[in-house]
């Protein structure tokens, strides 16, 4: 068992979080959030990876005793990708509306709320 994929996934998540914390632009923050979520893909795939395992498609060429990878983790990763695309597009639409109404995407200039 190798810890390298876990370290890489965690490093990507941390880089995204650091980017969000240091961001002075809402578009940059959304991109950093997307990068951080990309780290979760690596973490999920590291959990489901099994060296020597094959896809769990049983038939005439693969017997029931063959080692297979966990398909649930792969499905979770695909779901994570779809959710990430939806969240990124929604956040970019919100940033676009903020830019139209306030003429800025700097979070420091958006501190005052108007009711």
**pLDDT confidence of residue 114:** 63
Q: Is residue 43 part of a domain?
A: yes
Single pTM value for the model: 0.81
According to the model, what pLDDT value does residue 115 have? 60
Q: Report if residue 61 sits inside a domain.
A: no
If the chain, 115 residues long, is cut into consecutive pieces of 10 residues, what is the mean pLDDT of each piece?
Answer: 90 96 94 95 88 78 79 91 96 94 86 65
Question: How high is the pLDDT of residue 100?
Answer: 93
| Beta strands per DSSP E along 15-106 | none
Domains in the chain, number? 1
* CATH number, domain containing residue 79: 1.10.287.3510
Whether the Cβ atoms of residue 63 and residue 110 lie closer than 8 Å to each other: no
């Amino acid at each position: 068992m190798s810890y390298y994929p876990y370290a890489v996934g965690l490093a990507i998540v941390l880089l995204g979080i650091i980017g969000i914390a240091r961001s002075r632009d809402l578009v940059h923050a959304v991109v950093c959030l997307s990068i951080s979520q990309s780290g979760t893909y690596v973490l999920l795939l590291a959990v489901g990876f099994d060296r020597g395992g094959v896809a769990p498609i049983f038939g005439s060429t693969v017997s029931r005793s063959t080692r297979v990878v966990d398909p649930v983790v792969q499905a979770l990763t695909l779901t994570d990708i779809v959710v990430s695309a939806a969240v990124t597009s929604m956040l970019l639409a919100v940033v676009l509306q903020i830019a139209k109404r306030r003429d800025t995407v700097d979070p420091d200039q958006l501190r005052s709320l108007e009711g």
